[in-house]
Every structure is written in structure tokens, then in C-alpha cells.
Structure 1
Amino acid sequence: MEAEDLQEELTCPICLDFFNDPVSIECGHNFCRRCLRRSWTPADGLFLCPECRQPSSPAALRPNWALARLTEKARRRQQGPVPPGLCGRHWEPLRLFCEDDQRPVCLVCRESQEHQDHAMAPVDEAFESYREKLLMTQCSLTAKMKKAMHLQDMEVKNATEWKDKMKNQKLRFSAEFTKLHDFLAEEEQLFLQKLSKEEEETKKKRTENTLQLHQIITSLKKLILEVEEKSQSSILELLQNPKDLLTRSENQDVNYSLEVLEVKTLCHIPLMKEMLKRFEVAISAAEDTGHPHLVFSQEGRV
């Protein structure tokens, strides 16, 4: 009881915390210098004492060195480990949860200027509320994870189909240019270079897509782990800024658009009648594939 009485004597009536640079006024009451200056409204050169309402002059402020030394000693004694469930500033039970600061506070904190306009809720109610929200968020994140993994499977399937398309297109190009190897050597190299460039660009895009999905999945895994650990933690640990984790979880989305890979480079063989007169080349377009075919009428060749 003596320790509590001493702490009360060393507490500023305005901020309800240990005195900081205490000063005495004419009526004998003591306040933090900063708290006093913030609270007074001078009239005719005087201000009213926040406790007894007696007028006092700003010039009458006197530093209370003895009170300052005693306060510092008491503050140092309280710098040891704070018992679980007690306020680190006032050593009072943490019975309230401050929605604005997202942390548990004591009843003395609620009366201080720091939390004067803040929304408060009982710790037990806040714990149940945020625990329910965290569990719902965990379910939401799990659904997002399933969606991302499904997209990853689709991406692998899409890549496999694209590889087959690319392989068939290469074979088609090779067949067409083989017929005209003596005449179209440069064109063949040109088309293959374009196709290789498209292949590299597509591979690069695939790598970017795979990396994007990997990052989404990694982020979701991390958030799920954080939510799981948070939801299973103690009351005080769970109520250490749970809204931040909820906000980050809500903002985490699977922003990914699956793109079907297509081969854009096509083999358009130009008309070669004038160049290939001695071979009597006839060019016809294949209606089913849209790719031109060269028909040779040279003896022994079709």
C-alpha cells in the first residue's frame, strides 16, 4: 500500500503519469511543466490551477527538484520486468483494448490525454472478436491458396501444350524450307530466328508468370502461417495490433490472368513462280491449315 501511495504522490494530475520536469505553482500543487502549459488559458496574466482553480502567475512557476529526484528514483525501480498482464507504465491490469493504438491498456491509460478520444473495448470482447476475424481470414487465405495452386497447375499444362505447338511448328517450318533449301536458305534462317526470338520472349514471359505465381503462393503461405500463429497465441499476444495482419490478409489477392500461349510466328512463303520457273513451281494454299504448300512438277518429284 505504501508503494501505491508513493506512486500516486509522484503522478501528475493532468497526464496521470510520473512527473516529467515537475513545477510548483502558488497554491502548492505540482504538475509537469509541459502539461501545465498545455492546459492553462491565461487571463489578465493569470491562470487557474487545474486542481483547486486558484489563480496563479506564470512567473510564480518554480522547479521542484526534490520531487523530480524522487520521481526518477521511483521510475528506475519500476524499470524491471513488467509482470504479464500489467501495464508497463502504470502497473495496472490490462483490462481494455485500444482500437486506435491496437494494443491492450489499463484503466489509468484510458483516463490519460493520450487515449482521451480513443475507442475502447474490454480485453475479453476484443480477443473473441479479433480471434473470430483471424480464423475467417485464415479460411479466406486458404481458398486463395487453392486458387493460386490451381492456376499454377493450369500454367504447367498450358506450357506443355505450348511446347508441343512449338515443336510441331518447327517441324512444319523445316519441312517447308527443306523443299526450297537451295533457294530459300536465307529465308529459312530468317524465320527460324524470328521463331527463336518468339520462343525466348515466351519463355521469358513464362518465367515471369511462374515467378509471379510463386510470389503469390509464398506470400499466401507466409500470411497463413502468421494468421495461424496469431490465432493460437495468448490474449495479449493476439491483441498486439491484430488489425494490421487482417488488413494485409484482406489486401492479398491472386491478381493473375492466365494467358493461353500461342505461336505467333507463321511461315508465309512468298510467290516463287518467277524465281523457280525451271522447276515449274505451282503454289497452292492449304485451306485446312492456312499454310502454303509448294508442289514441284520436276520429273520424279511431287
Structure 2
Amino acid sequence: MEVKDLQEELTCSICLDYFRDPVSIECGHNFCRSCLHRSRVPGSGPFPCPECRHPSAPTALRPNWALARLTEKTQRRRQGPVPPGLCGRHWEPLRLFCEDDQRPVCLVCRESQEHQTHAMAPIDEAVESYREKLLQSQCNLGDKMKTLLELQEIEAKIATRWKDKIKSQRMRISTEFSKLHNFLVEEEDLFIQRLSKEEEETKTKLNENRLKLNQTISSLKKLIVEVGEKRQAPTLELLQNPKDVLTRSEIQDVNYSLEAPKVKTVCQIPLMKEMLKRFQATKIKTEKQNRHNMS
């Protein structure tokens, strides 16, 4: 008996897989015990054979030990490596692609209960379809990368302009404070400290934004490489869940809000000059009061 014919003899006509705990009924046909129970109408009366419709009593079920041993021996002989292009369960050519399970299947798999409601496509059509989708995904990712690189360039220019503003503001503060009296030195230091704190906080925020942008770019680069490798992969490897990489490509987010930092610390020199005038007036008044008390 040829291997294919032997496999057919050892296959349950209900589940289309190797027998599991095979039983014989009155007409002589064999089925998996669990398959037969699922196909029967609940009750204790006779039931029709799933193949020939001949009635058989539930009490007529007999374990077919010989068939079980033969099935087990045949399965053991097939536990070696599955040749490329063959179904690991049925050793049949992989001719179809199951959209629901995202994997190639054979014609026997298609007829099994597991795949009866699943959408199937010829494997050649599935390959062409997913190659086109992966190519489109790769193009879309390229566009996203271009957008991110442009944002990165703009971000660098914004940071440079901000640094120039910080430098200019620091020079103005130092110049204005140098024109005042010694008692304003502490005020100058206070403003410099505030500006430095603002600088550090803004630097931290810019670094966080730059890190986030670089991480997004790095993630996108890896995804582009992954999509490219998936698109160039052999047929069976390409059809191992191609939707996963397509989904991750579609949801890759490149939205990035550019925010030009502003210098919040402002040196209000006119107010300080007014403070100086009041200080000088208070000092003169105090000195006059002291001279009057001494006289």
C-alpha cells in the first residue's frame, strides 16, 4: 500500500486527521471516538453512520486497537523533519494560505473543522498580494522617515537660535547690572541663577525631545529593515504572519510637535533703577535723622 493510500486509511473522515482513540460501529466504518460523539444527535437510540448512513446502536461501539496501533506507528515514522513545502500535520503540499491563521495550509487542512469557516486563497496569489502590500508599506515607512529627518533638521536650527538668544540675554543682563551700584550685585546673581535654571530646564526638555525623536527614528529604521527583509523572504517565511509587520508599519506614529523654547527670565532694569532711587532717598533721610539726633 502506498504511503498516501495508507494515510487515507488512517484518517478519520470527520476531522480529516489521524485517528485518535478509533472506534468501529456496526457497519464497519471507523471514526475517532470524540468525533463520533460530537456528530451524534444527543440520545441513546440508534444513530446513522456519518459515511454510509447505516444505523448503529451506541452499545455497538468497539475500540479498534489494531487501527490505533497502526496509526501510532505511522505517526512515529513521520516525526522527523518535515520536508519544505509540506504540511507538518498531513505531509501534503502547502497550496493554500489561511487568512485567519496567517499561515500556509494544505488541501486536507482546508476540509478540517479547524479551517471550515476560514478565508483561503491560493498560495501564489497570497504571496503576490502580500509582496505588494509589503512594498507599499516600505514606501510609506520611507515617507515617514523623510518627515522625521526634516523635523530633526528643524529641531536643530531651533535649538541653535535658542542658544543664541540665551547668550544675548546673558550679555545684556551682565551689561545692565554693571551700570548699577554694588548693592545690585546680589540681584544680578539672582537673575543669572534664574536664567541658568531656566536654561538647564529647557536643555533637559530639548534633550528629551531630541532623544524621543532619535528613538522614533531608530525604531522606524529597524521597522524599515524588518519590512524589507520580510518582503524579500522566501514564500513560507514571508507568509508567517505578514499582517503583524504591516499592522506595526501602519500604526508607526511620526507625529511630532515642534515647540520653540522661549526665554522667560526677563531683566527689568527700569524697575531696579527705581528701587535704587528709593534706596538712595531712604539712605539720605536716615543720615539726616542721625545727624539731628546727635545735635
* TM score, norm. by length of structure 1: 0.86
Q: Does residue 259 in structure 1 map to residue 263 in structure 2?
A: no
Return the offset for 1:52: 2.3
Partner of 1:132: 132
Query: What's the CA shift for 1:83?
Result: 1.4
Separation of aligned partners in 1, 2:253 and 2:76: 48
Matched, 1:89 2:93: no
Identity of aligned residues (%): 72
> Are positions 1:274 and 2:259 aligned together?
no
Q: Structure 1: how far apart are the matches of 2:265 and 2:113?
A: 70
Instruction: Report the Cα offset of residue 118 of structure 1.
Output: 0.7
- The 1:58/1:184 distance shift into structure 2, 3 A limit, reads farther
- Show the counterpart of 2:40: 40
Higher mean alpha-carbon deviation, 230-239 vs 23-32, is at 23-32
Q: Give the root-mean-square deviation of aligned CA atoms.
A: 2.1
2-structure distance, mates of 1:44, 1:118:
34
Distance 1:222 1:181, change over 3 A: farther
Residues 152 and 213 in structure 2, CA contact (< 8 A), matched pair in contact too: yes
Worse overlay, 38-47 or 5-14: 38-47
3-state DSSP of counterpart to 1:217:
helix
1:35-74 equivalences under 5 Å are 35-74=35-74
> For the residues of structure 2 that align with 1:47 and 1:127, how far apart are their CA atoms?
45
Amino acid at match of 2:210: T
The CA distance in 2 between the partners of 1:105 and 1:82, in whole Å, is 14
**Cα distance change of structure 1 residues 111 and 274 upon mapping to structure 2, 3 Å threshold:** same
SS of 1:229's equivalent in the other structure is: helix
Q: Does 1:169 find its partner at 2:173?
A: no
Give the Cα separation in 1 of the matches to 2:266 and 2:14: 81
Output one character per residue of 1:242-295: Cα deviation in whole Å (capped at 9) or x when no partner.
111111111112021111122122122433121134899xxxxxxxxxxxxxxx
How many Å separate the matches in 1 of 2:53 and 2:192?
A: 93
1-structure distance, mates of 2:187, 2:50: 94
Q: CA–CA distance in 2 between the matches of 1:9 and 1:41? A: 26
Distance 2:181 2:142 in 1: 57
After TM superposition, list the pairs within 5 Å mapping 1:147-166 onto structure 2.
147-166=147-166
Local SS of the residue matching 1:218: helix
| Residue 15 (1) aligns with residue 15 (2) | yes
Aligned residue for 2:179?
179
Q: From the superposition, tell whether residues 176 and 12 of structure 1 become closer, same or farther in structure 2 (CA, over 3 Å).
A: same
Aligned length: 280
Unaligned runs of 5+ in 2: 285-295
- Equivalent-residue separation in structure 1 for 2:228 and 2:95 (angstroms): 25
CA distance in 2, matches of 1:278, 1:175: 26
List per-residue Cα deviations over 1:44-86 (Å, max 9, x = no partner): 5443322222333444433333322221211111111211111
Aligned to 2:290: none
Shift of 1:192: 2.0
**Higher helix fraction: Structure 1 or Structure 2?**
2
Whole-Å Cα distance in 2 between the matches of residues 183 and 114 of structure 1?
Answer: 87
Specify the SS of the correspondent of 2:104: strand
Taking the aligned partners of 1:113 and 1:206, their CA distance within structure 2 comes to 58
CA shift, 1:209, in A, is 0.8
Flag the 1:178–1:112 CA change in 2: closer, same or farther, 3 A: same
Distance in 2 of aligned mates of 1:34 and 1:12 = 11
Out of 130-139 and 168-177, give the one that drifted further: 168-177
Tell me if the contact between 2:44 and 2:58 (Cα under 8 Å) persists in the aligned partners: no
Report the secondary structure of 2:23's partner residue: strand
- Any idea what SS the aligned residue of 2:121 has? strand
